[in-house]
Amino acid sequence: MVVIAVAAGAIGVVAYAWEPEGRAMGWVRTASPLLILVAFERYRRWRFQKWAVLSEQGAALLEAGDLGAARRVLEEAEGYAFRAPEHVLTRLHLGYCALLEGQVDSARSALLALSRWWRTKEVPEVYAAAPDILAACLALQGDLVEARHWLEEAHRRRRPGAANFSFGEVFILCREERYGAVVRLLDDGLDATAKSLVHSRKLLGVVRAFAWDALAMEGGGTPGEELKGLEAIQPGEFSYLGARWPRMEAFLRARGLSEKEAA
C-alpha cells in the first residue's frame, strides 16, 4: 500500500506540472481514491491486530478453565472481527464456552447458526467441529434424532486424515445407554482428550465415571477406581448435565455433585 501511495503522489506531481489550469483539483481526483485505500488498509490491519490479540487471550483463558473471563474477552474480540474466518473462529469459541458454562440453549443456537453459515467452510476445522459440538448440545437436551443428523454432517465434513475423536458421539452414545461404547471411545481417544481444554477433560471425566457407574450397576459390581477422578469436581460444576437427563442427574446427586449439594 505504501508503493501505491507513492505512485499516487508521483502521478499527482506529474499532473500538477502538466496542466496549467486546475492542477490542484486534478491531483486530488487522482490521489484521493488511492489515499482512501491506504487508510482502509490501515484500519483493517488495526482491527485484525486487535482481534488477534483478544482472540489469543480468550483462547488462553478458555484453556485455563476461566470461562467467564474467556467469554467476556471473546465477545470483545468478536466486535473487532472483520473477515469471515475471524468471525467463524470467534463464534466457535463462544459457542463452546457457552456449553462448558452450562448455557446449553445459547450454545445450541450459536453453533446451529455457525453450522448452517456458508462462510464457515472457509475454516475447515471449524466447518467440521461446529456440527460435532452442536450434536453434543442436542444430545444433552435429549434430541437424539437431530443430534445424529448433525453428527453425520460433522463426519461428512471432516477432512481425510483429520483427528476423528468426536465430542458429539460421546454424548449421543451415553444418552443411548451404550455405556461400553462410551468407555471404549474415550479410552481410544486418550491422546486427543489429553490435549483438550482443562474444563473439557473434567467434563469428559464426569461422563466416563457416569458410564462406568452404569456398567457396574448393570453387572452388579462397583466402579471403584473409576470414580476417583471426581474428587476434583466441585458440587454444582456440572449440574447442567442432568437438567434434561434424569439418570445423569441421579448420578450427580448420589456422588454429591448436584446443584442442591452446591447450595
pTM greater than 0.85: no
Residue 113 to residue 151: CA distance in whole angstroms? 15
Q: What is the pLDDT of residue 15?
A: 45
Q: Which residues have a Cβ under 8 Å from the Cβ of 26 and sit 6 or more positions away? A: 12, 15, 16, 19
Q: Which residues have a Cβ under 8 Å from the Cβ of 149 and sit 6 or more positions away? A: none
Q: Which residues have a Cβ under 8 Å from the Cβ of 93 and sit 6 or more positions away? A: 55, 58, 59, 62, 70, 74
Q: What is the pLDDT of residue 263?
A: 46
Question: What single-letter amino acid sits at 242?
Answer: G
Question: What single-letter amino acid sits at 199?
Answer: H
Q: What is the pLDDT of residue 172?
A: 98
| Residue 16 vs residues 10, 30, 36, 38: alpha-carbon distances, Å | 10, 11, 20, 21
Q: What is the pLDDT of residue 161?
A: 75
Q: Which residues have a Cβ under 8 Å from the Cβ of 91 and sit 6 or more positions away? A: 78, 110, 113, 114
Cell digits of residue 216: 457396574
Cell digits of residue 161: 486424515
- CA dihedral (215, 217, 222, 227) positive or negative: positive
Q: Which residues have a Cβ under 8 Å from the Cβ of 237 and sit 6 or more positions away? A: 202, 257, 262
Q: What is the pLDDT of residue 35?
A: 74
Q: What is the pLDDT of residue 165?
A: 86
| Residue 80 vs residues 49, 54, 67, 87: alpha-carbon distances, Å | 9, 9, 20, 9
Alpha helices in the chain (DSSP H): 2-18, 23-64, 67-80, 84-100, 104-116, 124-140, 144-157, 167-175, 179-188, 190-194, 198-219, 246-254, 259-262
Question: What single-letter amino acid sits at 207?
Answer: V
DSSP letters spanning 166-228? -HHHHHHHHHTT-HHHHHHHHHHTHHHHHTS-HHHHHHHHHHHHHHHHHHHHHHT---GGGGG
Q: What is the pLDDT of residue 38?
A: 74
Per-run averaged pLDDT (10 residues), the chain, 263 residues? 40 45 56 74 92 97 94 98 97 97 97 98 96 98 98 94 86 96 90 80 93 86 71 91 96 87 48
